[in-house]
Every structure is written in structure tokens, then in C-alpha cells.
């Protein structure tokens, strides 16, 4: 179990530009699905990159169970946005998923969480012997193992990417708009899978454009627009939205 706490994060892409994030504080708890919603340019992807350690905040601290991110970076994995992937690359689903095991950084984490242990739960329906196979089974793509990535549907591609992320020893998963470009059934399917992962003890922080009813699938919602506008349960957020002047946010997401 791992809890990520980020406090007062401020970040600018250059000294001359305005902050992309301003005094952002969030907490990601194990066993919970936390949604990060906001309009385009709100800083969602920027925040996820800071939390994963790809970029360093100008001001603010990020800790996992009280330890600084530098020491605990291996406990976080980021599933990137669809647009950052080269979907035409000649690779099979199985090979893609196996890339998630690769770690070239010199992490000194001596007790990494193993997804294998999670999946070896007697109640789960996975093969204990093979982590790769088990992970693909877990997200429902084991029958696609030898298919080329560009021959899959959007939903299948997202599940393959999730499986790759799950292959890392991370306990905290950051998913950058995993449901974009998915049709409603595929989106529901995906949310069921991530719910199962949360129920198994992982902490999931999922950025989303979806401002609709699917927010109810989450335990906690953070509304971001450069800074945190609201944070709470889906019901409390819906109530607060009426009080907040974020009509542009609603308009931005109406097409989603």
C-alpha cells in the first residue's frame, strides 16, 4: 500500500511563461480510483509528469509514504496519452506488454511491489506461473498476444497499454486520459478493469475529459485548471460545480 501526497506544486515550462500549475496539492490513496478532470490546457498531463518524476516542480514536494519521490520513483508508473504512442510500430501485444518490465534506471528500492503477488491472489483467475500471461489475462487481452498492435481496436490498444503499465513494480498508477477515443462500451469495460485493480490495493490517478455520469465510477475527483478548483467525492463535486465559475470547463467537455 502506498499513499502519494503532493503539496503546493508550482511548475512553469520556462522562466518567462506563466505557471502551468500553481500551488497544486493532491493526495492519491491506495485502493481508490481518483479522477483528475479539467479542460484542455488545465495542466493535467503536466501534473502527471511531475508526479511520475519526469519533470521536477519549481516549488513543492511530492512524497510516497513520507519518502521523497527521488527514492520511491519506481513505485509510480505512468500510462501515457494515446497521442504519445507510435501505434504503427511493428510490435505484437505480448512484446509491448513485456516492455513494461524494462527498467534502466538505478532504483534502490529493495522491496518493490510485485503485480505478480497481487495477481496470484487465490480469488483471482490468473495463471500464477507467468506474470506476463497473468497480466494480459487480467486486462482481457491474452487472446490477442500475437496480434500486431495496429490491428487492434482503440479499446484493445488501451487495455494493452494498461497491461504494459501493470508490468512495472509500481503501486501507484497514473493514467493519462485512457478513455479518450473510446466508445461508451469500451470505456465502461476499461473502468471495470481499473476498478478491479483499485479493489486489489493499487492507487490509481486517472485524468479524464469525461465530465458526465462516468465520474460516479470514481471514489474521489480532483478538478484542475492550473490550480485545484475542487476536490472530493463525485457527489460533492457535482454540488460544488454549481458554485464554481467553471462554465468553460463544462463546455469544453460537452463533446466528450
Partner 1 sequence: MSFLNNWWLIPLIITVFSGILCPAMGTVLITHRRLLQVNLISHCVLPGLALALALGIHPSIGGVISGLVGSIIAESLTNKKSENYEAVMNTILAGMLGFGVLLIPLLGIRIDLEAVLFGDLLTANLGDLLRTIIAFLTFILLVTFGYEKVVYVGLDPEGASASGINVSLLNLALSFTTALVIVSSMSAVGVILVIALLSTPTLLGLDKAQSLRIAMMRSSFFGLCISLLGFILSIIFNLSPGPAISVICVASLIIPKIGNKF
Question: Using CB under 8 A as the criterion, which residues of the chain lie in contact with partner 1 when the complex forms?
Answer: 52-54, 78, 80, 84-86, 88-92, 95-96, 99, 102-106, 146, 148, 164
Residue 36: closest CA among 247, 243, 204, 192: 204
User: Cα 121 to chain center, whole Å?
Assistant: 23
Our CB check for partner 1 shows the closer of 148 and 240 to be: 148
Our CB check for partner 1 shows the closer of 83 and 121 to be: 83
| Cβ within 8 Å of residue 256, ≥6 positions away | 180, 209, 210, 211, 212
Our CB check for partner 1 shows the closer of 11 and 211 to be: 11
Nearest approach, Cβ of 243 to partner 1 (angstroms)? 37
Is the Cβ–Cβ distance between 84 and 45 less than 8 Å? no
Across-strand partners of 28?
4
Nearest approach, Cβ of 128 to partner 1 (angstroms)? 26
CA dist 247 → 93, 132, 211, 236 (Å):
41, 44, 12, 17
Nearest approach, Cβ of 118 to partner 1 (angstroms)? 20
Nearest approach, Cβ of 9 to partner 1 (angstroms)? 18
Nearest approach, Cβ of 68 to partner 1 (angstroms)? 18
Our CB check for partner 1 shows the closer of 89 and 125 to be: 89
CA dist 121 → 125, 172, 214 (Å):
8, 19, 28
Residue 39: closest CA among 244, 191, 237, 223: 223
Amino acid at each position: 500500500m502506498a499513499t502519494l501526497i503532493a503539496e503546493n506544486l508550482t511548475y512553469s515550462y520556462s522562466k518567462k511563461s506563466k505557471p502551468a500549475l500553481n500551488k497544486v496539492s493532491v493526495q492519491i490513496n491506495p485502493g481508490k480510483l481518483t479522477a483528475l478532470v479539467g479542460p484542455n490546457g488545465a495542466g493535467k498531463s503536466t501534473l502527471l509528469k511531475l508526479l511520475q518524476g519526469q519533470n521536477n516542480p519549481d516549488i513543492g514536494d511530492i512524497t510516497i509514504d513520507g519518502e521523497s519521490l527521488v527514492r520511491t520513483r519506481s513505485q509510480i508508473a505512468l500510462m501515457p496519452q494515446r497521442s504519445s504512442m507510435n501505434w504503427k510500430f511493428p510490435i505484437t501485444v505480448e512484446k509491448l506488454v513485456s516492455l513494461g518490465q524494462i527498467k534502466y534506471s538505478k532504483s534502490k528500492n529493495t522491496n518493490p511491489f510485485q503485480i505478480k503477488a497481487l495477481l496470484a491472489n487465490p480469488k483471482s483467475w490468473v495463471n500464477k506461473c507467468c506474470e506476463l500471461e497473468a497480466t494480459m489475462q487480467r486486462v482481457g487481452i491474452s487472446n490477442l498476444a500475437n496480434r500486431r498492435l495496429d490491428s487492434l481496436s482503440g479499446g484493445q490498444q488501451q487495455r494493452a497499454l494498461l497491461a504494459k503499465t501493470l508490468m512495472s513494480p509500481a503501486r501507484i498508477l497514473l493514467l493519462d486520459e485512457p478513455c479518450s477515443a473510446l466508445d461508451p462500451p469500451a470505456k465502461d469495460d476499461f473502468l471495470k478493469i481499473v476498478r478491479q485493480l483499485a479493489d486489489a490495493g493499487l492507487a490509481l490517478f486517472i485524468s479524464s475529459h469525461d465530465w458526465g455520469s462516468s465520474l460516479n465510477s470514481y471514489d474521489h475527483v480532483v478538478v484542475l485548471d492550473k490550480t485545484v478548483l475542487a476536490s472530493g467525492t463525485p457527489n460533492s463535486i457535482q454540488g460544488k460545480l454549481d458554485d464554481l465559475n467553471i462554465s468553460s470547463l463544462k463546455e469544453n467537455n460537452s463533446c466528450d
